[in-house]
């Protein structure tokens, strides 16, 4: 069976389900996209890793990753093998001292772990045919997770420009402490822009 390698394109707010997100996967050697509807908690677990944020305490997927490492078990592959009645089914391929084995998993959990373990994600041509959407690659920026570029608290996407760099750093620390990781990602991006601007000015 031919496997299709996927990459994570980003997260966006679901237009169909309130409080849900669409996790968008893209085939590496093609232009088809798979949108997977996931909950806010699962989206948070994926978003903080995409944004390179470190929570003050390990989240569930971080803890699971540490357990795997402790017992010298490696997550080698995530395989989304079936789409049935609106649900994606996945399994994790693991290798340890006793050999290799597969573990059934929710797709969102498997992908959250794949990010942390830096392992590949695959699906089948059948799943891609059932759920894939053909997108014009030139119309999108695959490096920018969509959900992490949302508008600010006041409905203005540029609201962070009103704050000083010190205030932004305090807001970032508070957002991470409160586990508001999407907001933290937006604040971190603003800090990055400011820092890049200062570097350019002094060059």
User: pLDDT, tens digit, for every residue of 128-172?
Assistant: 999 888 765 444 444 434 333 333 444 444 678 888 888 888 887
Q: What is the pLDDT averaged over residues 108-134?
A: 93
Is residue 95 over pLDDT 50?
A: yes
Model-wide pTM > 0.85: no
Is residue 66 over pLDDT 90?
A: yes
CATH code, 100 = 3.10.690.10
Query: How far, in Å, CA of 118 to CA of 120, rounded?
Result: 7
Supply the range of the domain harboring residue 192: 150-202
Query: How far, in Å, CA of 48 to CA of 119, rounded?
Result: 17
| One domain, residues 172 and 140 | no
Most confident of 9-13, 64-68, 140-144: 64-68
The DSSP bridge partners found for residue 11 are 23
Is residue 103 over pLDDT 50?
A: yes
Answer yes or no: are the C-beta atoms of 114 and 120 closer than 8 Å.
Answer: yes
As for how many domains the chain has, the answer is 2
Strand, coil or helix: 129: helix
The tokens for 53 are 């944020």
Residue found by looking up tokens 């509807």 in the block: 37
Query: How far, in Å, CA of 185 to CA of 80, rounded?
Result: 28
| One domain, residues 172 and 102 | no
């Amino acid at each position: 069976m031919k496997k299709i390698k996927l990459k994570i394109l980003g997260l966006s707010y679901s237009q169909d389900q309130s409080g849900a997100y669409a996790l968008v996967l893209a085939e590496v050697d093609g232009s088809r996209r798979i949108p997977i509807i996931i909950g806010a908690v699962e989206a948070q677990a994926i978003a903080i890793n995409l944004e390179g944020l470190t929570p003050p305490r390990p989240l569930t997927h971080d803890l699971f990753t540490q357990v795997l490492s402790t017992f010298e078990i490696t997550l080698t592959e995530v395989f989304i093998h079936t789409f049935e009645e609106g649900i994606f089914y996945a399994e994790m391929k693991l290798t340890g001292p006793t050999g290799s084995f597969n573990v059934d998993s929710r797709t969102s959990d498997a992908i959250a772990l794949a990010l942390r373990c830096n392992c590949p994600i695959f699906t089948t041509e059948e799943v891609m045919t059932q759920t894939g959407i053909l997108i014009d690659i030139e119309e999108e920026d695959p490096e920018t997770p969509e959900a992490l570029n949302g508008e600010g608290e006041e409905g203005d996407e540029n609201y962070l420009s009103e704050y000083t760099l010190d205030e932004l750093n305090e807001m970032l620390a508070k957002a991470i402490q409160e586990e508001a990781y999407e907001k933290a990602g937006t604040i971190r991006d603003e800090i990055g822009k400011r820092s890049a601007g200062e570097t350019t000015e002094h060059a």
